[in-house]
Amino acid sequence: MTSVALPRSVAKLCNHSGLGIGMQLSYSVVDVFTDSCFGGNPLAVVWAPEGLASHLMQKIAHEFNLAETIFLLPPRHDECHVRTRIFTPQTELPFAGHPTVGASFILGRAGRAFGRAITSDVLLEQNIGAVHAELLTECDAVVGGIVSSPEPLAIGPDVDPELIARACNLRPDQIETSRHAPCICTCGNALVFVEVTSEEALSQASPVISEFQQHLPRERAIGVHLYTPSTKEGVDYAVRMFAPMVGITEDPATGASNLSLVGLLTALAPGNTLRTSYRLEQGVQMGRPSQLRGDATKLDGVLSEFRIGGHCVPVAEGTLNIPSSFQ
């Protein structure tokens, strides 16, 4: 069998007599948007050789059964440190914030990827394009990452508040429309953004699958992102995200949708030139509290930059044994 030279024994092709194992891939599990183990949003990060089949990546993501699994592959463009592909248990995504933050954390801790040193910044080649991440460090140790939006914020059409109420098991009067009606926004993944009237309403919400299937298919938006001002000290907004049509009934911490939320709130804020920052909490109802930090800059009425980030905690490392029959 042929050996594949990748970082930290990323992949080995082997012939284990009787086991039928044809490939071994190194992986890490990291909790993203938390500084405590078993909080935040767990993520599988898999080092992969060039040419690993898409259907096999999808099977591996389904096996982990986490919100997302990200694969690290050799870059195709010299300016990037790594190429990535991101999968939910059911589908591939062009971009997602929590895998990008978690992968940047793993890459920063490794210090190298595919022969290139990594210091304070990581450039990841993703299906959406090149994505920039800044490493968060404390006492010279990498503790997390901050991801910049890969695309300008696009604010799309409004969505019927009564439809959203039905889809999220809420009453129509629990949908707040004074700041904006429910609307589809994207900076890489389209979601419906909905302000609700209270933290009580936020806690009460739950996805009604039949309504998502009929009115919110993933071709329209991959999920619904609910938010409301928080009364908790140190938190500006409490948020939840439902995406059952891509295999995520609820997500404990959603980087891409909170990135869009930071952009949306800043775009709607009064003033033509300002810099904002937001402290967001998610995952409380799931028993996986997550803390995200976002910031944005608006210049002459135009949203010029917006970012999302947070801490990460390593949880596990291991090896995936891939049978020869799956290659």
Catalytic annotation, residues: 68
**What is the C-alpha separation between 72 and 235, in angstroms, rounded?**
33
Residues 228 and 196 sit within 8 Å (Cβ to Cβ): yes
Nearest 5°: phi and psi at 212? -60, -45
